[in-house]
Amino acid sequence: MRHSLPTIPQFYVTAPQPCPYLAGRMERKLFTALQGDQAEAMNDTLSKQGFRRSQNVLYRPSCADCCACLSARIRVADFKPTRSQRRVMKRNRHLQRHVTSAWATEDQYDLFRRYLDSRHADGGMADMDVFEFAAMIEETPVRTRVLEYVGHGANGRRQLQAVCLSDVLDDGLSLVYSFFDPDHAARSLGSFMILDQIELARQIGLPFVYLGYWVPGSPKMDYKAKFSALEVYHEGAWQTLRDPARYSGTTHPLSVKPIAEQVAGLTLPGTLSAPIAPRTPRREK
């Protein structure tokens, strides 16, 4: 017998755990499974409301007393590179972009491990093995592409130097995760991949490039505010980021709406019913 997946999405809340971006704060996420025939429509619709994809889950920060994390995107038509960003593009113009389906390779994993060991050895992904890496790349129910950036090493042989995992939304490209060769960190490969995504979105007529979350006060996230035509999802709407200092991320008990109100206020694809209120909080794996 064929059993259809539920048409009414169920939302859950993770148990609080230490925030990876701001010291002394606790993070909590609102999330739902991404599955079934409506997976792409859900990804498109909830991405416009500040959600992000991780494998087959869509999530959005929903901390009890903090609203610092803001989803960020670049308006492609209005973007103008700075002089520094033009230098980044020039330094990396020799790299060749290869676009593939969401399929993990040994070369990608080797580069990923070197990247983590060099830059995020104490982060939450530090212990990821090859099977977990493959799941991160391959477990996607939506249109996902892997962009490999290939150059040549000192011996002249082909060398994978950077990788970007991106979703193709109905209104843009969404950067899920990227990593690069730490030996070439001086070439600003992370920024280069964003710049290349902007150019790719322009070529295929998509208006936005989604960058994930920008967190004011977090040094890890400062680079995102350096891109022009940047918008952040704040207080239920996309706003042009003009003064980063305005978004202080101040904590107080009324920073965010109750979870039930957040869920009730979500817009879902037209063929889906209203979302079910969140279940009992549980801890992330």
Residue pLDDT, tens place only, 168-183: 999 999 999 999 999 9
Mean pLDDT, the chain, whole residue set: 88
Cα-based distances in Å from 178 to 5, 14, 118: 31, 25, 14
CB 15 within 8 Å of CB 283: yes
Q: Structure pTM? A: 0.89
CA of residue 142 relative to chain centroid, distance: 14
pLDDT exceeds cutoff 90 at 279: no
Average pLDDT over residues 217-225: 87
The confidence score (pLDDT) of residue 275 equals: 65
Percent of the chain having pLDDT more than 90?
A: 63
The confidence score (pLDDT) of residue 203 equals: 97
226-276 pLDDT, tens digit per residue, is 999 999 998 889 999 988 777 765 566 566 778 888 888 898 987 666 566
Q: Which residue has the higher pLDDT, 123 or 107?
A: 107
At 149, is the pLDDT very low, low, confident or very high (cuts 50, 70, 90)? Answer: very high
Dihedrals phi, psi of 217, to nearest 5 degrees: 95, -10
**Residue with token string 């490039």:** 209
DSSP string, 73-141: EEEGGG----HHHHHHHHHTTTPEEEEEES---HHHHHHHHHHHHHH-TTSTTTT--HHHHHHHHH--S
CA distance 122 to 68: 22
Lowest mean pLDDT among 78-92, 155-169, 242-256: 242-256
Indicate the class that CATH gives domain 73-242.
Answer: alpha beta
**CA atoms within 13 Å, Cβ hemisphere of 111:** 21
Average pLDDT over residues 41-46: 96
CB 17 within 8 Å of CB 48: no
Q: Which residue has the higher pLDDT, 128 or 205?
A: 205
Average pLDDT over residues 188-197: 97
For the chain, which residues make up each domain, given as ranges? 1-68+249-285, 73-242
